[in-house]
Structure 1
Amino acid sequence: MRTLDFAPLYRSTVGFDRLFSMLDKATQAETSSTWPPYDIERVADDEYRITMAVAGFAEDEIELTQHDTNLLVTGQRKSSEGDSQILHRGIAARTFRQTFNLADHVKVVGANLENGLLTVNLKREVPEALKPRRIPIGGTQSAVGQDNAQPRIEAVRQAA
């Protein structure tokens, strides 16, 4: 078992507390159970998908909650008290709680439960105010557009 001490890094950095806390939790989570199994995939540049194997759970037994940059997925089976007796239980029916740390501006855009797989679709939506913008030099004109936008030649000539 490996343990990492991030204390020296806390002394020499400012503002990275959240990053080191996530690393601490990740190293501790290696020893804990990771049930139910899940996949995380990148669908496009700013789109992601989490797929969890939740066989035996119905839609009303699973709850997804996003609070800030945390996505919490919980599942709790409702007791099915029928007349039958189960002789062997091979399908896990235990309660689960799985937390995913999301990057800034990543939002859940949809979820679907089909054939025992819970699919959670995520998308990064950076607000317009936080996108890069081009700043003109030597003028009193306000900055417009994104960094990748081509400046108009007429606007540059008028500013000069």
Structure 2
Amino acid sequence: MRSAFDFAPFRRSTVGFDRLFDMLENSSASQTQENYPPFDLIKLGDNEYRIELAVAGFKPEEIDITAQQNVLLVSGKKSEESENRGQDYVYRGIATRSFERRFALADHIQVRGADLKDGLLAIELVREIPEAMKPRKIDIGGAEGKQSAIEGGEKPASKQTVDAEAEHA
């Protein structure tokens, strides 16, 4: 299903953002998904997040959390023995139906851990950018100038000019 907005001009002028545009185009289809269980998404810091899902009535062994590449899948299924404890319910307001919740994760988001307390499942997330992906300063100059500076012990020509100007000032 196509969205009302055309991303073609952006696709032509960007490299490596295909997944982002696909997600934006398919977002209208995902808005029809069920809203169970409800959740909160909390930003704890620049690179730290927490997802809290309301999973009242579920035990830790009835919940499965799977982190795949750029997708976090949280699913829950009540076991047969806990659903049918021989109790005759007059009214059952606590939802115990099975669920599956998917969260799209950005690149380099890692799941740190999960905890179930007071009916809330808290999943800790952190963005860990590899050293190779972090910004780094690129020096201007050819490889030959750096090689001779290392071997000969002399400064590159651009450094000599700057140092000479500093001495005359």
The correspondence for 1:137, drawn from 135, 140, 144, is: 140
Tell me the amino acid that sits aligned with residue 76 of structure 2.
G
Tell me the amino acid that sits aligned with residue 117 of structure 1.
L
- C-alpha distance in structure 2 between counterparts of 1:133 and 1:12, whole Å: 26
Instruction: After superposing the two structures, state which structure 1 stretch, 119-128 or 132-141, moved more.
Output: 132-141
* Structure 1: segments with no counterpart, 5+ residues: 142-156
Higher strand proportion: 1
* Structure 2: segments with no counterpart, 5+ residues: 148-153, 160-169
* Partner secondary structure for residue 86 of structure 2: coil
- C-alpha distance in structure 1 between counterparts of 2:25 and 2:55, whole Å: 27
**Please, what TM-score do these two structures have when normalized by structure 2?**
0.76
Match of 2:33 in 1: 32
**Please, what TM-score do these two structures have when normalized by structure 1?**
0.80
Match of 1:69 in 2: 70
1:90 aligns with 2:93: yes
Aligned ranges for residues 10-25 of structure 1 at < 5 Å?
A: 10=8, 13-14=11-12, 15-25=16-26
Percentage of pairs with the same residue: 44
- C-alpha distance in structure 1 between counterparts of 2:30 and 2:10, whole Å: 26
- C-alpha distance in structure 1 between counterparts of 2:46 and 2:117, whole Å: 25
State whether residues 10 and 17 of structure 1, in contact with CA within 8 Å, keep that contact through their aligned partners in structure 2: no
1:127 aligns with 2:126: no
* Partner secondary structure for residue 27 of structure 1: helix
CA-based RMSD of the aligned residues comes to 2.0
